[in-house]
Amino acid sequence: MDPLDLYDDSARERVVDEPPKRVDAPVRTAFERDRARVVHAAASRRLAAKTQVVGPQTDDFTRNRLTHSLEVAQVARDLSRALGSAPDLAETAALAHDLGHPPFGHNGERVLDDLSAACGGFEGNAQTLRILTRLESKTFDADGRSVGLNLTRATLDACTKYPWARGGGPDPAKFGVYADDVPVFAWLRTGAGAGRCLEAQVMDLADDVAYSVHDVEDGTVAGRIDLTSMDVPAVWDTVREWYLPTAGDAELDRVLAGLRTQGSWPTTPYDGTRRSLAALKNLTSDLIGRFCGAVQHATLASGGGPFVRYEGSLVVPEETLLEMAVLKGVAAHYVMTAPDRLKAMALERELMMELVAILAHRAPDALDRPFADDWAEAADDGARMRVVVDQVASLTDASAVAWHSRLRSRS
């Protein structure tokens, strides 16, 4: 059976109906059209200049948000196909999953969340929904309002990592919709079951797989991580602080020992040669295959299915979760909490706070035209602050620095 036959008309519905424009061109499915819209979005291009772990200007090897998203998309597509769902859905969700990240990654996200508390806070996934359904204009409704890229219901649902408003989920800091985006959120969740659809689960897992493995690869090439010689007790402290607060040393030792049984796990330090680069790439591939293979086997063995929308659920073995958490902890310890990185992050936070303050004071004149128009239509101070946050979140790392320098010099 063609996986697309498992998706009904409701899954393919758009806020604004759009018949195919080119009857003489090869017919694309609704989900293929969605994928193309995300690929061609300006917000996607900006990801090339946004921080993944360290700034994209650091070197030519380290991943940025765009290269990370492309890798997540490949993992999501392969896993989706293996499970029998529509690969274009999971791939598009993966391509879109980081569109809402502001300059300087999670560091910038925390600053914007603090500064916008009075208007509902900031969350990268809620911002992604806002971009897809409002800010990245392609289609307008009959009342002249932007409906963003006008993606199908199934694609928007697949992009929704946290399908609840602030305070409505298990983690109060994680949410997927702002108050003024609730109408389109309610539309996309029409007919939804509890929690996340299968395709969103695939996207989320692919993200975890990619960054748990690739952050270690980037850290190794940068000379920050040596997998053959780690301060294991210190790494375990970071794992507990960041990911697994109740994990004991013995359990984490066992998980690391299991990872070291992977045939491509290094036995000699990385030295920058082509041979060591190849060995590191083989390790990356093997770990991705290890994690995705375990999930695929467990999910298919669960007896559920078909694995589309709300008719099936992804099964992630506990051991796989532990293994990914250990790798993420290694990167967190040696890269994200390194003294030079912490110093840079402090400077980034200061810049972001000053930039928001300057723009709030000088709006709407200092805003790009679309955001200046939003400012003019805003009903109150909270709505105007949301516009300022939208503007800042749209910037790349480099443009945030440039805007800050330009605007401060004119103050």
- Report yes or no on 326 lying in a domain: yes
According to the model, what pLDDT value does residue 59 have?
52
Q: Which residues of 118-145 are buried (b: 16+ CB within 10 A; e: fewer)?
A: ebbbbbbbbbbbbbbbbbbeebeeeeee
* Domain-located, residue 283: yes
The CA–CA distances, whole Å, from 49 to 69, 282, 358, 367, 375 equal 13, 27, 23, 20, 26
Does 320 map to a domain? Answer: yes
Residue 397 lies in a domain: no
* Sign (positive or negative) of CA dihedral 153, 120, 377, 396: negative
Kindly give the confidence (pLDDT) of every residue in the chain, 411 residues in length, as a single tens digit, with 9 standing for 90 and above: 688 889 999 999 999 998 877 665 668 899 999 999 999 999 999 999 876 555 445 555 567 889 999 999 999 999 999 999 999 999 999 999 999 999 998 899 999 999 999 999 999 999 999 999 999 999 999 999 999 999 999 999 999 999 999 999 888 889 999 999 999 999 999 999 879 999 999 999 999 999 999 999 999 999 999 999 999 999 999 999 999 999 999 999 999 999 999 999 999 999 999 999 999 999 999 999 999 999 999 999 998 778 999 998 999 999 999 999 999 999 999 998 889 889 999 999 999 999 999 999 999 999 999 999 999 999 999 999 999 999 999 999 999 999 999 999 876
Q: How many CB atoms lie within 10 A of CB 171?
A: 7
Domain containing 309: what range? 198-336
Phi then psi for residue 165, to 5 deg, are -80, 170
How far apart CA 309 and CA 122 sit, in angstroms, is 27
What pLDDT does 328 receive?
97
φ, ψ dihedrals at 177, nearest 5°:
-155, 135
Q: Is residue 149 part of a domain?
A: no
Q: Pick from 313, 68, 121: which is nearest to 202 by CA? A: 313
Side chain identity, residue 37: R
Q: Answer yes or no: is 239 within a domain.
A: yes
- Given this model, what pLDDT does residue 174 score? 94
Number of domains in the chain: 1
pLDDT of residue 55: 47
Q: Please check whether residue 128 is in contact with residue 152, taking contact to mean a CB–CB distance below 8 angstroms.
A: no
- Asked if 202 contacts 160 with a C-beta cutoff of 8 angstroms, the reply is no
Q: Which pLDDT belongs to residue 171?
A: 87
Q: Residues 284, 278: contact at Cβ < 8 Å?
A: no
Residue 259 covered by a domain: yes
Residue 24, pLDDT score: 53
The SS3 call for residue 92 is helix
